[in-house]
Structure 1
């Protein structure tokens, strides 16, 4: 008989977090689902009264995160799989962002994930292991106009997660950087903060919008089976791209960067070091 795992998922009220929550519950696992607004989870709480705990949580509040994680660990006695998924989108050119917008964005997308990781590690270390899935983005492969701060937060989380994986592997804790492709998560609607547009960027803004088009991407539920399989691997990868289209695009970005390096290799080599 398979023992039910205990999940802790942030940003669980919509998009990918909601899809992962539903998949884990359907598999017979226990889930602590956290979000700033937990009202959208009421239907799941009714459907799974014994295996779902709903936890209101603002991940940008470090003190609240540590208290919330303690509650999550106590709910089912352990934390087997933690999905660091909470995040939002700051949409606009770099010049347009206010200090308040930039800091608030990174407080959630980067520091919030760091606080969750710091809070869950003592529990995982005490129990002898666990899985930490750090949800970044295929966009972490490079910056893109209008979503520079979103990419910055994901790149920062990517880098910290690489270091974290090396640090905690000795405790039986496995960290995987989950590079998500473009899914219809509501990020550009419910999870968005927009800057005040400067007319100087109108042409570029229109060009970017046309390039992206109106395709919203596949439903987040289509990514959930991959996450479930990943969480069950005895020796999971350090990083994983989720989505075939995303995989191809990341390979193209990596190749373009490598080609650029080679093009200017002679100038690079003029300096020692």
Structure 2
């Protein structure tokens, strides 16, 4: 489906080789837009590049390297002359208990999931501000609403991304730049194999790990193309949502989490008020 504007937009998508990033790139191309897709390995995009009639440019980029990110953004702009939609999608997951994580695993995770998105945001804002328009789409997670066993580090990175992005919304809106935080649920991606880091397991957590395995076995992952359809609608909106849950199941779980948090706060309201 073509978008409303007759002029093709230029997208800059991180983590574009697979999963949600790949789906976003395919949807943008199908809408008649142009895409610069980056990832640590862009070879999975070769066939799509060949079929794109020059509308897809792909090159390797490690978003944890701030200097490389700024250079990569300049290269992206040189390819098509401007950027209109920036999607911070690249990321990985650390699956392990907090006690089990090494310093290197924790820092490496945040370098990509949080700082990588921050470096891209810093690099693109001057260009979007100069042209007086642009969309930044931050791919967070429905899990950023609260910590959960074994995904605490992943949730921490996404919660940090949410907070930074809310600040960014306030800072750049007056320049014509709209920022949307996407909070997807489970989709059919390779996040939990290619993008997975697991620390050495501690035996003390074996019962909890067994319970979690049973819980997650009941979960269902969905087609990333459905998420991409919604993202196309979002970037077409004059006033897009500042925050959007992706997926009916994700919405229900997020709703339950926020209601539980509100109930916990209300339970201890009287104790809270004693501190003033």
**210-219 or 58-67: bigger deviation:** 210-219
Deviations 1:194-242 (A, max 9, x none): 1100101111011111111164501211111000000110111111111
Residue matched to 1:67: 71
Q: Does residue 40 of structure 1 match 2:44?
A: yes
Q: Is residue 8 from structure 1 mapped to residue 15 from structure 2 by the alignment?
A: no
| C-alpha displacement of 1:269 | 1.2
Alignment pair present for 1:132 and 2:109: no
Name the CA shift for 1:64/1:233 in 2 (closer, same or farther; >3 Å): same
Distance 1:264 1:215, change over 3 A: closer
What pairs up with 1:92-241 in 2 under 5 angstroms? 92-213=96-217, 215-241=219-245
CA offsets, 1:79-115, max 9 Å, x none? 0000000000111001101000000000000000000
The CA distance in 1 between the partners of 2:275 and 2:113, in whole Å, is: 37
Provide the C-alpha distance between the structure 2 equivalents of 1:213 and 1:116, rounded to a whole number of angstroms.
35
Which residue pairs with 2:257 in the alignment?
A: 253
TM-score (norm 2): 0.97
Runs of 4+ aligned structure 1 residues displaced above 2 Å come to none
How many matched pairs? 272
CA distance in 1, matches of 2:64, 2:139: 16
After superposition, the C-alpha distances for 1:244-263 in whole angstroms (9 at most, x for unaligned) are 11111111111101111111
**For residues 191 and 83 of structure 2, what CA distance do their matches in structure 1 show?**
27
SS of corresponding position for 2:120: helix
Q: Indicate which of 40, 56, 59 corresponds to 1:55.
A: 59
Instruction: Give the superposition deviation at 1:181.
Output: 1.2
TM-score scaled to structure 1, two decimals?
Answer: 0.98
CA-based RMSD of the aligned residues comes to 0.9
1:105-138 deviation per Cα after TM superposition (whole angstroms, max 9, x unaligned): 0000000000000000011011111000001000
SS in structure 2 at match of 1:21: helix
Distance in 2 (CA, whole Å) between partners of 1:216 and 1:12 is 23
Deviation at 1:49, TM superposition (A): 3.5
